[in-house]
Amino acid sequence: MNVINSTSTKITANKAELQKAMAKMLTNFITNKKWSDKDAAKELDIKQSRISELSKGIIKNVSMDDMFELFVKFGYKSDVKKSSIKDLLDITITKNVS
């Protein structure tokens, strides 16, 4: 395997891992609100089928941008900073308390 394919495979795997974690968190938010898929779709302005997919861990139809937008709709914000450790980024998602 050449370096480009190896790097691409690692990026795809890392992205999928992050998306799955975000989908699980979003599903937990929906569960905590006691929303049905239909209620969540209406409240979050997203297709009901996407809510159902997220709850099943199916992430292929929901982009990272879409997931971040859903976090914002739940009152969260993201903060990206260069880490004190060389070549790392710290990404923090916190409840917005403004």
Please tell me the distance from the alpha carbon of residue 52 to that of residue 15, in angstroms, as a whole number.
20
pLDDT 10s digits, 3-35: 455 566 766 778 888 888 889 999 999 999 999
Of the candidate CATH numbers 1.20.120.420, 1.10.260.40, 1.20.970.10, 3.30.2130.10, the domain formed by 3-95 belongs to 1.10.260.40
pLDDT 10s digits, 69-86: 999 899 888 777 776 666
- How far CA 95 is from CA of 23, 29, 33, 77, in Å, comes to 17, 12, 15, 6
Over the Cα atoms of the chain, what is R_g?
A: 16
pLDDT band at 1 (very low <50, low <70, confident <90, very high): very low
Please tell me the distance from the alpha carbon of residue 79 to that of residue 74, in angstroms, as a whole number.
16
Q: Residue 46 CB: number of other CB atoms within 10 A? A: 18
Which pLDDT score, from 0 to 100, does residue 35 have? 96
Instruction: Note the helical H segments in 33-63.
Output: 37-44, 48-55
